[in-house]
Structure 1
Amino acid sequence: MLSRLTVLGLVALSALPVRAADADWPAFGRDATNRNFSALGLIDRGNVARLRPAWLFQTGVTGYFQAQPVMVESTLYVSTTGNNVAALDARTGRALWTYTHRARTEKIFGPPSNRGVAVAGGLVYQATMDGRVIALDAKTGALVWDHEAVRPEEGETETASGLAETLGGKPVQGSSRLGFKMPPLVAEGLVIVGVTGAGYGLHVEDAQGGLDGGAVVGIEGGYGRRGWLAAYDAKTGAERWRWYVTKEDGWEGDFVAKTADGEPLHRDVAAERSAAPAHREAWRVGGGSLWMTPAHDPELGLIYLGTGNPAPQNFGLSRPGDNLYTMSLVALDIRTGKLRWHYQQVPHEQWGYDVASPPVLLDWRAPDGRTVKAVASASKTGWVYVHDRATGALLQRSEPLIAQKNLYQPPSPEGTVVSPGPLGAVSWPPTAYDPNTGRAYIQVRHGAATYTVKTVPGGPGRPEIRYTETSEARGEPSFSTLSAVDLAGSGRILWSVRAGSRLSGGTLATAGGLVFSGEEDGHLDAHDAETGKILWRFQCGAGISGPAVTYALDGRQYVAVAAGGASFTKGSGFGTGDALLVFALPE
């Protein structure tokens, strides 16, 4: 149940005018471009050092608080871990109503985190961890409709229990469970959302907690699920269309030797082709989670989204081929869900390089001076890709955001060290883009992983088992940077600032020349957008794992962020929390 708020203090009103169009934060990413940019500039480089807490709201639900709030018509809407929702007076934090979610199953994928709601047409929409899409009355919080899109446990196998003994007693989680984490996109009378959890298959937890709480292990065999994105009627919740990530006919693709941008994949194509006849149905459990909210271009009638890894993760011989359309940036017709184009960043992926960060719409300057409507995708591989929004043609690849090592070298029995590992360079946290300067501000994780192929001998009535274990690479550097990249034309890294702890949650840029970025140790930092210098920071009491927002009321600008930690805070010395903190300038 959501608890009462705590008011820390009030701040004075500013006399500076604010355009009504700039005052709200009406959707995830602020609008359907996913830019996470605000034209507000009441808080700027010159006064941000005076920023102070205005109020906070404690949800009463501790942990994994990753949501980005939404502010519409003086009301702030926020969802918590466990899919509870609160509507708050955006001036004071007073609770207007609360909704307590009652999950229909405890069998969910991963921690019970939720990354935000959508508000449109007098309704608040949320996609839940237990596979439901719901609509609440924005004024009262009353449930308007509740559509069960998927049961998380559907399609699970019983193989996990039998494998635990085989794999040395290590806990084995069963086939992937489907659920929702992304904030929905509401557009053209549709509520659009995609499932996570499709691309894991069976996985094992190691004794040390492993990467992000568990060593992800790809076990040979068809243990995954088929990822999908669906559109629901905004008034009734009825499903209007569904697009599946894995291609039913021809998901093997062309067995390419290089990525589309020319990087060698080091594949054993002969072995894959030989294995293909025995795995013609692999697409049925082929993975492809959808982690974050699509961008939308209403003029083209297209939405843009990134897709996740194929299943089983990190083990490719039981899914021969390119595994279309996993690991891709895709464009779909918003009215029908039909695929218009795709760009596969990593065919036959084996390293956990989901295309997870939300795509960003921007204008790109061609060398001949033309302006091209473009879409950018910041990737786990360490580059930012910029594409023609209409055709998918690659316009630009940025400079590498990290030091890449053994990129696309396959897992091996000896253990292959590869940088980046599965947590970076750019995971699901959103990128901020300033359309006035053409700069993107990106949280980048630097680190490597060791990918080791292991074999467990068979026995009486028990076949041999092969799997790939992923663990943090020892002796390799591990840190985070906030980086500014020119996406308007050159793709150059303009500056990069190393953080004191791991960065998470994403970035917010403002017309005040500021970039807000959260750290896992609880600090919310305000950087100078020109230089990266930290101008202000505040210890929020728990790890920042959701993106900040800014809004204005009565001439006063606020900055709001959730502080609740994240799954990776386990064992790090940094705790979890339950607070939504809101800041403003004092009088």
Structure 2
Amino acid sequence: MSRLADRLAGLFAAILLLSAPVVAAPVDDARLVGADKDTSDWLLPGRDYADRRFSPLDAIDTGNVKTLVPKWIYQTGTAATFQTTPLVADGVMYVSAPFSHVMAVDARTGRELWRYEHKARTKKLCCGPANRGVALGYGKVFVATVDARLIALDQTTGKVSWDIPLADASEPEGPSEDRSALTGSDPALKGKVSGATGLGANSAPLVFDGKVIIGITGVGYGLHLDSDRPGAPLGAVIGVAGRYGRPGFLAAFDAQTGKLAWQFDTTRQDWEGSFVNQTDYGVPMHRDIAAEKAAVTEHKDAWRYGGGSIWHAPALDPQTGLLFFGIGNPSPQAAGESRPGDNLYTSSLVALEAKTGKIVWHYQQVPHDLWGYDVASPPVLFDLDIGGKSTPVVGQASKVGWYFVHDRATGKLLFKSEPFVPQTNLFQQPSLEGTVIAPGVGGGVNWSPTSVDAEKGVVYLAAMHWPSTYRAQVLPQVDGKPPVHYFNIEPATAGQYGLLSAIDLKAQGKILWQQKTPDPLVGGVLATKGGLVFNGEGNGDFAAYDAKSGEKLWRFNCGAGVNAPPISFALDGKQYVAVAAGGSQIWGFRQGGAVIVFGLPD
């Protein structure tokens, strides 16, 4: 009888376990600081504060990855540009969907536990519906929204704890009268010109030391030429000189109350800088410095409209308390005559004190940016042997086609890699006949996160070759109105492709291998201790590559573009890989709304 009783007790306990609600423990500072040593969860956007996106799990490896199969699929119910990095804590997955909806899902089964439906307070979405993830901390889930709000949700129930505005998302941003003139008067613009935008936020917040840190997007003002056919990528970007937009910012808020702690504006009053005609890394800028200096007095207040969006969560060094992040292009995009000077701190990598928001250093990759070369991909922190000494560094995959490595304390450029995409006419000025420039407005590496294997000293990155034609245009005086000067950036309609690359950081940026893909790559990569690199494509393929050779070992077609960064986590001693499959409207990739989790066969 005792044996039967024991069996019945075990069965009863198993039934209770299966029926019990799945609840994650609150995530405190200790767990976040120690996330790098947590082999089961994925607690931060980049897995750890260093943003390395490298998984120490090795149950899935080069020998068995060919047997990988879907374990479950969760449908968000929203088919739109899908860029989220799911977070996993204690068997619960937290997902942000397009339009800033948030869901908690049982990571074992894909069953939805709770759901927050966001109701935007404006229809002016600055940058489309995409959201790149949430943050966990102190029993809350934090999401930044398409209408520039920061919201704290209860981690267990999804109920709103507090909801604050980051900025006025409905404030006017653009030249409506110039836009109508462009649409009606220029036969080269074969489509509707749009772009009077509000503000928003689409990156994941970062939680640290009782604060939630987030930046805004939508301030690098540029008009968009809508595509003339469904499913096609963006037709063009139109730049019109003038006072449009506002400065961007990165800000910290009290995690319990939402009260503002500090704010760092991404432009400064003396933003003209030194009027450099060559980048710090030695590439000519082809600027008319004399003309810019002559225009300073007329445009002395240009910094007030200067742009500088924030496209990713910062990386953080908890030991020094420094934040590292990139800043977007200046406003107005592509049109530089109304913003003379270097336009600090736009198109720069920046280090701030996390406690105060005070700037420590900046490194401007592209002074007086006319080409849309945002510092958009998240920086990564690691240690590297420099001259026989282990040096804390920060690396960043740029839109201009190099991987930059800086001294973490000073910002000094230590080296840049070999070019990982073709470079043609870099930093050449727009012309009436059109100047073809590569990388184009999309990069290089766009917002896509990279993955760094710090032990091997290798960075893996997903990039695109998509040249653009830059034209300077003038619409003549009409009905007594002054001429309209504008710039037209047209991405190529053929010949574009993607490049997945492995770069040896110990060898000063030597390219180890590259894999060419049919579609430009945007979304991000994951490397693992199992010797694998995972990457998705706009055609729906999700693939695993050998980290040493670049050989493709496995693929699965997800039915919609895989344009989001993968993650890996472990439950019950088993490793899983998860990715969002929902495409991207701006690049013309098929949209959907699924999160797919893969594992080895049982």
Q: TM-score range by the shorter chain?
A: over 0.9
**Alignment partners' CA distance in 1, 2:513 and 2:274:** 39
State whether structure 2 residue 166 is matched by structure 1 residue 146.
Answer: no
Residue number among 500, 510, 514 corresponding to 2:532 in the alignment: 514
1:504 alignment partner, SS class? coil
Query: Deviations for 1:376-417, whole angstroms, at most 9, x for unmatched residues?
Result: 111000001100111101111111111211111111112111
The letter of the residue matching 1:299 is Q
State whether structure 2 residue 47 is matched by structure 1 residue 27.
Answer: no
**Alignment partners' CA distance in 2, 1:379 and 1:575:** 26
Match of 1:539 in 2: 557
Match of 2:425 in 1: 406
Contact 1:363–1:488 (Cα < 8 Å) also in 2: no
1:60 alignment partner, SS class? strand
**Alignment partners' CA distance in 1, 2:200 and 2:441:** 21
Query: Deviations for 1:329-359, whole angstroms, at most 9, x for unmatched residues?
Result: 0001111111110000010111111100000
Contact 1:54–1:582 (Cα < 8 Å) also in 2: yes
CA shift in 2, pair 1:458/1:278, >3 Å? same
Match of 1:418 in 2: 437
The letter of the residue matching 1:156 is E
Residue number among 311, 315, 323 corresponding to 1:291 in the alignment: 311
Match of 1:329 in 2: 349
**Alignment partners' CA distance in 2, 1:457 and 1:211:** 31
Larger mean Cα displacement after TM superposition, 479-488 or 518-527: 479-488
**Alignment partners' CA distance in 1, 2:330 and 2:314:** 19
Match of 2:297 in 1: 277
**Alignment partners' CA distance in 2, 1:332 and 1:160:** 38
1:283 alignment partner, SS class? helix
**Alignment partners' CA distance in 2, 1:155 and 1:124:** 31
Contact 1:501–1:521 (Cα < 8 Å) also in 2: yes
Query: Deviations for 1:318-337, whole angstroms, at most 9, x for unmatched residues?
Result: 11100000000000111111
State whether structure 2 residue 471 is matched by structure 1 residue 452.
Answer: yes
Match of 1:36 in 2: 53
Which residues of 2 match residues 319-468 of structure 1 at below 5 A?
319-366=339-386, 368-468=387-487
**Alignment partners' CA distance in 2, 1:435 and 1:206:** 42
- How far residue 37 of structure 1 moved from its aligned partner, in angstroms, is 0.5
Contact 1:302–1:332 (Cα < 8 Å) also in 2: yes
Alignment RMSD:
1.8
- How far residue 500 of structure 1 moved from its aligned partner, in angstroms, is 3.3
Contact 1:448–1:478 (Cα < 8 Å) also in 2: yes
State whether structure 2 residue 67 is matched by structure 1 residue 47.
Answer: no
Larger mean Cα displacement after TM superposition, 199-208 or 404-413: 199-208
State whether structure 2 residue 283 is matched by structure 1 residue 268.
Answer: no
Larger mean Cα displacement after TM superposition, 169-178 or 465-474: 169-178
CA shift in 2, pair 1:174/1:403, >3 Å? closer
Contact 2:447–2:522 (Cα < 8 Å) also in 1: no
- How far residue 174 of structure 1 moved from its aligned partner, in angstroms, is 4.6
TM-score (norm: length of structure 2): 0.91
- How far residue 548 of structure 1 moved from its aligned partner, in angstroms, is 0.6
**Alignment partners' CA distance in 1, 2:407 and 2:130:** 33
Match of 1:216 in 2: 237
CA shift in 2, pair 1:412/1:283, >3 Å? same
1:222 alignment partner, SS class? coil
Contact 2:326–2:378 (Cα < 8 Å) also in 1: yes
CA shift in 2, pair 1:266/1:156, >3 Å? closer
Contact 1:202–1:223 (Cα < 8 Å) also in 2: no
- How far residue 21 of structure 1 moved from its aligned partner, in angstroms, is 1.8
State whether structure 2 residue 157 is matched by structure 1 residue 136.
Answer: no
Query: Deviations for 1:415-449, whole angstroms, at most 9, x for unmatched residues?
Result: 11111101111000100011121100000111211
Query: Deviations for 1:504-538, whole angstroms, at most 9, x for unmatched residues?
Result: 21000100000000000001100000001111110
| Structure 1, gaps ≥5 residues long | 1-18
The letter of the residue matching 2:558 is C
**Alignment partners' CA distance in 2, 1:462 and 1:143:** 50
**Alignment partners' CA distance in 1, 2:521 and 2:502:** 14
**Alignment partners' CA distance in 2, 1:555 and 1:93:** 18
**Alignment partners' CA distance in 2, 1:350 and 1:101:** 35
Which residues of 2 match residues 479-558 of structure 1 at below 5 A?
479-558=497-576
**Alignment partners' CA distance in 1, 2:235 and 2:92:** 38
- How far residue 208 of structure 1 moved from its aligned partner, in angstroms, is 6.4
Contact 2:224–2:234 (Cα < 8 Å) also in 1: no
Contact 2:222–2:237 (Cα < 8 Å) also in 1: no
**Alignment partners' CA distance in 2, 1:580 and 1:290:** 25
Match of 2:22 in 1: none
**Alignment partners' CA distance in 1, 2:235 and 2:493:** 16
**Alignment partners' CA distance in 2, 1:31 and 1:20:** 9
**Alignment partners' CA distance in 1, 2:349 and 2:232:** 25
- How far residue 473 of structure 1 moved from its aligned partner, in angstroms, is 3.8
**Alignment partners' CA distance in 2, 1:44 and 1:156:** 50
Match of 1:16 in 2: none
Query: Deviations for 1:174-199, whole angstroms, at most 9, x for unmatched residues?
Result: 54421001000111111111111110
1:442 alignment partner, SS class? strand
1:374 alignment partner, SS class? strand
**Alignment partners' CA distance in 1, 2:184 and 2:490:** 21
Contact 2:225–2:234 (Cα < 8 Å) also in 1: no
Which residues of 2 match residues 47-66 of structure 1 at below 5 A?
47-66=64-83
- How far residue 172 of structure 1 moved from its aligned partner, in angstroms, is 3.5
Match of 1:577 in 2: 592
**Alignment partners' CA distance in 2, 1:110 and 1:491:** 33
Match of 2:577 in 1: 559
CA shift in 2, pair 1:188/1:212, >3 Å? farther
TM-score (norm: length of structure 1): 0.93
Match of 1:96 in 2: 113
- How far residue 206 of structure 1 moved from its aligned partner, in angstroms, is 6.0
CA shift in 2, pair 1:351/1:234, >3 Å? same
Residue number among 243, 257, 281 corresponding to 1:236 in the alignment: 257
CA shift in 2, pair 1:438/1:105, >3 Å? same
The letter of the residue matching 1:482 is L
1:272 alignment partner, SS class? helix
2:221 alignment partner, SS class? coil
Match of 1:14 in 2: none
Which residues of 2 match residues 13-24 of structure 1 at below 5 A?
21-24=38-41
Match of 1:311 in 2: 331
The letter of the residue matching 2:125 is I
Contact 1:45–1:535 (Cα < 8 Å) also in 2: yes
Residue number among 256, 278, 292 corresponding to 1:258 in the alignment: 278
- How far residue 586 of structure 1 moved from its aligned partner, in angstroms, is 0.6
**Alignment partners' CA distance in 1, 2:141 and 2:186:** 45
**Alignment partners' CA distance in 2, 1:123 and 1:529:** 36
**Alignment partners' CA distance in 2, 1:409 and 1:474:** 21
**Alignment partners' CA distance in 2, 1:301 and 1:466:** 45
**Alignment partners' CA distance in 1, 2:50 and 2:217:** 22
**Alignment partners' CA distance in 2, 1:338 and 1:297:** 15
The letter of the residue matching 1:404 is Q
CA shift in 2, pair 1:56/1:99, >3 Å? same
- How far residue 116 of structure 1 moved from its aligned partner, in angstroms, is 0.5
2:42 alignment partner, SS class? coil
Contact 1:381–1:425 (Cα < 8 Å) also in 2: yes
Contact 2:299–2:339 (Cα < 8 Å) also in 1: yes
The letter of the residue matching 1:333 is E
CA shift in 2, pair 1:211/1:361, >3 Å? farther
Match of 2:125 in 1: 108
1:550 alignment partner, SS class? strand
- How far residue 204 of structure 1 moved from its aligned partner, in angstroms, is 4.0
